[in-house]
Amino acid sequence: MPKAVYIHVPFCEQICHYCDFNKFFLQNQPVDEYIELCEMEIKNTISNFPTEEVSSVYVGGGTPTSLTTDQLGRLLEWVKEYFPLAENYEWSVEVNPGSANFDKLQKMQEIGVNRLSIGAQTFDAALLKKIGRDHEPGDVEKTVQQAIEAGFTNLSIDLMMGLPEQTMEQFQETLRQVVALPIQHISAYSLKIEPKTVFYQLWSKGKLPMPGDELEADMYEELRNTLKEAGFTHYEISNFAKKGFESTHNLTYWNNEEYYGIGAGAHSYVQGVRRINHGPLPKYMNAVKQSGFPYREEHQVSKTEAMEEHMFMGLRKLDGVSYTNFYNRFGIEMRSIFSQEIDRLVNDGLLRDNGSSIQLTDHGLLLGNEVFEKFLLKEQ
């Protein structure tokens, strides 16, 4: 029974050079009709797949704050109307420092949003321009201060590392500025060159100078050390939190638990079935109008697939995968399935086994994908 909801707002006022998420330039888009169809999808989804309560909601994009205050307010009100929120829920909205004014922040807080994820990426002005962002470094601090004035007490900042021509000194300065902010959570991801992006076109022509794997690994170590000194706990490969502020919603994914996905291109995992919504706006909107649901693809997850996912999602967490939790979920001992893989990775220094759980080592954190692929099984 899902206890988490993801809502996708696919509109942006500017398209970032690295982004491969489902998004559309805002101008001349049917935003109001899209929001109304999201309500229809929400209503039909909760009717067909009811739940007792929802503990986390995440509104992402695209850029949710590219909507007007009224449009964003209507969408959020429908979330509150149809989904039964738990007493201690977490409700996050992604915020672009360039488009989040005080009225929007106040409206979100009044409706019930209690966490913001602010897309800073870097505090270097030249790098912001290079990656296609439309805000200035000072906009981040301004947004944080306005959010606090609006009543928010749970703020997260998104950072990127390994950007084109990014130096260690630039990254260190970004870290210095981010830990000086009154925030509770930081997500930091390495740049990945994805198809159908501006950066991919440049990279394929040899026109995108990258820092290199060694420097990127050094940045990751700098990140871990700096945030530890600043009082943040490293609880997932890319995520750090002050005590008690770990992301409930993201832990849903890493614990491989079920969740609703609403909106164009959204993914969901409900009653053992993974679904993908149509991404293009016309296809999404027509599907909802015709059938009430926008599914492009549906896949029943087998037990083998579920065990694989449990391993490589769970190993992203610093506390790893528990033997007891694995047995309770699948009715079989983890080592009866993955004994050889675990022993080999322990011997290679990529995993540690403390008897109650397995976890990535410090070296394993740098080579996570190589570890995860070892837990892919042939279908039984």
In tens digits, what is the pLDDT along the chain, a chain of 380 residues? 899 999 999 998 887 777 767 778 788 899 999 999 999 999 999 999 999 999 999 999 989 999 999 999 999 999 999 999 999 999 999 999 977 899 999 999 999 999 999 999 999 999 999 998 888 999 999 999 999 999 999 999 999 999 999 999 999 999 999 999 999 999 999 998 888 888 878 888 888 888 889 999 999 999 999 999 999 999 999 999 999 999 999 999 999 999 999 999 999 999 999 999 999 999 999 999 999 999 999 999 999 999 999 999 999 999 999 999 999 999 999 999 999 999 999 999 999 999 999 999 999 999 999 999 999 986 44
Distance CA 260, CA 271 (A): 10
pTM, 2 dp: 0.95
Q: Are 359 and 319 in contact (CB under 8 A)?
A: yes
Do 72 and 64 form a contact (C-beta atoms < 8 A)?
yes
CB of 170 closer than 8 Å to CB of 124 = yes
Q: How would CATH label the architecture of 4-254?
A: Alpha-Beta Barrel (3.20)
Residue 64: Cβ within 10 Å count? 28
Architecture of the domain delimited by 303-375: Orthogonal Bundle (1.10)
pLDDT at 378: 63
Q: By CB neighbour count within 10 A (0-12 exposed, 13-18 middle, 19+ buried), where does 356 fall? A: exposed
- The secondary structure of residue 316, as a DSSP letter, is T
Write the burial class of residue 36 (CB in 10 Å: 0-12 exposed, 13-18 middle, 19+ buried): middle
Give me the residue spans of the domains in the chain.
4-254, 303-375
